[in-house]
A and B are shown apart, each in its own frame.
Chain A
């Protein structure tokens, strides 16, 4: 048996590596067979338990089938991954039909190009031969240029790049066409002073001018290769409806070997200062600054054919090469690393694989999956910014050494010729980002509890959702001043005037230095390749979209207000002072040290969170002459919807802490109480405020007694009729377990009474020892303490068991689960446990609470809080922190909120359970078990299935809600909100109001009940707080006290009204309301209830009869119901808006 298994394993591993035709033939029919049944059930998207007929199941197996089954059994996960990869590759690969289209289009173009007519020779600076319809794709700065130019048919037209190599993938299909400029147009000295690049641009313009007259070409645009303005390209699309399906990119190249590669040594100068500045200088050629970037961009034009040959040779050795490159490209694309200036593009990906293959780090027989894995591993472990790599086997003597490359470039990856650094434009930060992504990906892949395939290849990672803080440099033209300030003339010459690319590395290193330990990664967006029509001038550098920078924070250090420098007398102090400028000052610390230090402003957590912003704006202003207005800091922009506090803006961290401290004090006092008949075994909080996730944490209140009526017997406060509804006081639930004892009765009613007795006793003791005002009732004890109300519930651990037991007719003691027992267990066991667990999570991740609050604020505002309850929302957010793949745990509330919306909108609830591994209690085996159980009984489980270590099979938090329809709506609204918020955050030109995502669309509802704001106690928490405010019996000055009359607790007319409405009309309609200050109740009729139903005594509530002969049907009595809305909400309801025009009955 053992031996058989290993034998079966081998072919599975080898299938893709074995490239003989025979093997492929064998696989083809197998695939066909597999796809057959799928065609039949292609439409239905429901998972149904497989039903095989008896004869199918028990027919004698053939040897081949037996092997296949064994393989599937032993390699299930491996083969599932294999199947997934195959499917993914199928999705991105070019179809045969598309290839034919491309081939034929390329043929037409080639034919056209070969017929380009000659033109008379003119000076390079003379552009008169170009008709007005076509412009030269080049920024002619400085204007003067020497040399002659004339048009001539190309020496040759060849396919280069990914298309002939077979590594071209969807989307953005590009076929590259190299057009060789005839040698007589060029001059060997043309490398100097941009003469060659200008001739190249002219040649392209000439081609474009000729092609405009052709009808075989759809659209024609200019672009430039990887944002490098020295290398413009011509983009051609086919005419007709295929125009968007692929693009042909025309490069102009010099004839191979036309320039000597040694001229492009990174230490050589090819742009003269005199020419560039237009000023007479006395510099000799040897003292001119080197121009490595210019050199490499010209050299890059010489080599594409050689590179293609090299890559084709490598790929013919390794059968999975193309697939491996495709996977790597998908991986890069999901991380936005494959496009723009200084990107790690598909070409580099192929070269990397080629490097790994030629250095035998990976073998030719590996599968695509293994290629991807190994290249990620290599990227994660190799730092190309320090130890560059080279593909050159035996470079000639003129080739520069690696050290020379390193001194000129930040990232070094040398091509097979040994002369070109293919990563010339890449910044160290981009490479570090790549490295970070690779190492994180490898970690996720090694973690058996993460769906690596989905996290690595299927999930996009846009910067706004990846980085904790994001900021943008808006006014790019201001970067010219930075160039001056930083004295970057020679670098600017090297980058041919591209001041953005010139300044970028300096800004990056400045920020890296200033932010230091606060961040673990600094990333920046890659400026996208500009595209413009052939009729317009090349766009200026300032026209490109703003540069975005992303920070990945270290949560424990990022918010520190103190930057402690070296001691005043140490030599490093000067450096520190230089960096921080006037903000640096000498400070004496408690340990006696006198050091240089910078102190940033920030009192509350929400202000401290923005310390990086202060640092960035200060440094940019000081060193790069970039004013405040240039920096658009995108963090904490959505936070103000949960902002409270009048003097110091706060997002609730401080308030929550106050509640928790008060609770800790109460719990200590409860433990110390003496004189109770049974001792207390545990005191646990069971309220979101005690785990920092209450949207608006309760604030200590001081009351204005004259505002209230008094209750006669106890002198407690009660709301006064006619006055605005008093401020809402949230009772904070605390569960207090009592010791088990034989004295507890074994009867549900008796237990209820004993608990009441405990409430009374606890109240008496708290009053006696601590003078707290208490109010005992059968279900709980309210304690008025520090301006807060705690609701203590005594619990007895055997009570759920007692509720489950009953004696049936035969006198048999049966144990039956029931809702009452479940609800009690939920309240006394699961909720306290969840609260303490999440409290722990908050200690690990300081922004957990804030993310929960933002998420719940959004749910409330979009009227979903009834369906996705507080506990569910907290669990969803917890999953973002516990299983962040492919991200790292959120480091700011905003990014957490965006990921929450993304989770809601993209998670496949139908086919997957969401597993929240609280406290890391679940092992990989548990995960499999949960998934298997889930698949086996999907239909009977809640639509939103959340498993936790204590609840692997039932998903108790989502059992009641949401239903399928509501979940669908949540998904749609979340996707839309995410889109809106991200667009607003990343696009500075748009109207800035992120609250748009918090305003629910009300046009979908049938009836709107408008409430009287006077009676809505939480009015000030509304998304758009109204300008009018009402006195609600609260004194703002003075400290909150503990004794005195009991305030009005838990009195909220809106929720009372909603309860009544739901109880009365729950089977006819759904009621939605924003619990945080909503002044509208939206009503949606249930369509089913409006179908006339036969008269039944059990179903006549709020219905009227329609008699037709002997048939009696009932329909809802809508007029009366609408009037009931008014009657039941007397005093609260302002108006009722019935949108009759929408009703379809």
Chain B
């Protein structure tokens, strides 16, 4: 082990520059080596999400792949009751854009090392975690909470991947109902907006900026580009080429420069082949 570790007396937390506390973690009680978790209170200036309250969230780095959310929750409940655990591939702000999907429809998760955001019920738990001695490792797989890995885990995964067609059909139906409802609402809204722009009984039209997406011009990148090209073409048509003598000279000059460049390139290509001894027949 690194010599720096030895300086710390036992029962002392190990804190490295940068403010992270090092916690040890081993798979089972008879493991010989340990992973190091780096924990710190979650402190981000621009954190807006209510999912990670600043005073109660612990930021954990380097969680091994066999630690699922449940395992992590279990490991950290020794410092106080855990409210929620969020595991992610990379540190970053909380995202909740994806709608709720059943596990069968979610893309497969990467099973690598993770970072975790652990929200405790009490802010005192954070201090407890941070002052946890370095040489008392957390143990993942214990008698009370066995963790399956390897063949056992794969068999379990395989078994759990089954879903009854009826249940699957139901999931699909729910989702599509939701989706249709959303679409309908959208259509309704658009219709209303269109109606607003119609003449009312007295012949007045309400003119407003309106919602985005209801403009007359198709609002897409491709359409924008097409219009731009049309303009350019128009401009080009009006321009005169090879009209003045200097223009003519310029094109000739460009042509010769082009030829020279090509010639040099060919020469270099041959030189390159020669340098690689590509002409030795045997």
Contacts and interface: CB of A to CB of B under 8 A. Distances in A.
Contacts of A1102: 35, 62, 64, 113
Contact of A1130 (B2, B151, B222): B151
B203 interface: no
Interface stretch (A131-139, A216-224, A264-272, A742-750): A742-750
Nearest to A1109: B17
A713 B90 CA distance: 37
Given A814-B221, A815-B222, A1120-B35, A1128 B280 contact: no
Interface string B238-277: 0000000000000001001101111111111111111110
Contact of A1108 (B4, B110, B262): B4
A87 B276 CA distance: 12
A1095 B16 CA distance: 10
Contacts of B117: none
A752 interface: yes
Nearest to B25: A1120
B164 A1105 contact: no
A255 interface: no
B169 A757 contact: yes
Interface in B22-53: 22, 27, 31-36, 38
A57 B162 contact: no
Interface in A1090-1142: 1095, 1097-1098, 1100-1108, 1110-1112, 1117, 1119-1120, 1122-1124, 1127-1133
Interface in A909-947: 911, 935
Nearest to B220: A813
B172 A1122 contact: no
A811 B212 CA distance: 7
B163 A777 contact: yes
Nearest to A1048: B158
Given A80-B266, A1130-B150, A1122 B272 contact: no
Interface string A31-62: 00010011001110101111010001110010
Nearest to B101: A749
Interface in B105-142: 105, 110-113, 115
Interface residues of A, number: 110
B27 A778 contact: no
A45 B261 contact: no
A811 B213 contact: yes
B270 A83 contact: yes
A160 B256 CA distance: 53
A72 B36 CA distance: 66
Contact of B2 (A815, A1048, A1106): A1106
Contacts of A911: 269, 272-273
B230 to A, nearest CB: 18
B158 A91 contact: no
A254 interface: no
B263 to A, nearest CB: 5
Contact of B169 (A457, A713, A714, A760): A760
Contacts of A194: none
Among A90, A750, A763, A815, the one with the most B-chain Cβ atoms within 10 Å of its Cβ is A750
A778 B163 CA distance: 10
B150 A1097 contact: no
A778 B271 CA distance: 57
Contact of B265 (A37, A50, A68): A50
A388 B159 CA distance: 79
B165 A763 contact: yes
Interface stretch (A234-242, A656-664, A716-724): A716-724
Interface stretch (A698-706, A972-980, A1056-1064, A1070-1078): A1056-1064
Nearest to B1: A1104
A43 B280 CA distance: 18
Given A718-B159, A747-B179, A1063-B112, A1129 B33 contact: no
B281 A330 contact: yes
Contacts of B165: 760, 763-764, 776
A1078 B179 CA distance: 48
B154 A1051 contact: yes
User: 10 closest Cβ contacts across the A-B interface?
Assistant: A1130-B150, A1131-B151, A1101-B113, A813-B220, A1119-B33, A38-B271, A811-B212, A87-B279, A57-B257, A1107-B4
24 contacts: A38-B271, A38-B274, A72-B259, A87-B274, A91-B280, A719-B155, A719-B158, A747-B179, A749-B101, A812-B224, A814-B220, A815-B221, A935-B269, A1051-B154, A1063-B65, A1095-B16, A1101-B62, A1105-B22, A1107-B17, A1108-B4, A1110-B17, A1119-B33, A1120-B35, A1128-B66
Given A41-B268, A908-B276, 10 more contacts: A72-B259, A91-B281, A334-B282, A457-B281, A725-B151, A815-B220, A1063-B65, A1098-B91, A1105-B38, A1107-B2
Interface of A: 34, 37-38, 41-43, 45, 47-50, 52, 56-58, 61, 66, 68-70, 72-73, 76, 80, 83-84, 87-88, 90-92, 171, 330, 333-334, 457-458, 460, 711, 713-714, 716, 718-721, 725, 745, 747, 749-750, 752-754, 756-757, 760, 763-764, 775-778, 811-815, 908, 911, 935, 1015, 1048, 1051, 1053, 1056-1057, 1059-1060, 1063-1064, 1066, 1095, 1097-1098, 1100-1108, 1110-1112, 1117, 1119-1120, 1122-1124, 1127-1133
Interface of B: 2, 4, 16-18, 20, 22, 27, 31-36, 38, 61-62, 64-66, 90-91, 99, 101, 104-105, 110-113, 115, 149-155, 158-159, 161-165, 168-169, 171-172, 175-176, 179, 183, 212-213, 219-222, 224, 253, 256-257, 259-276, 278-282
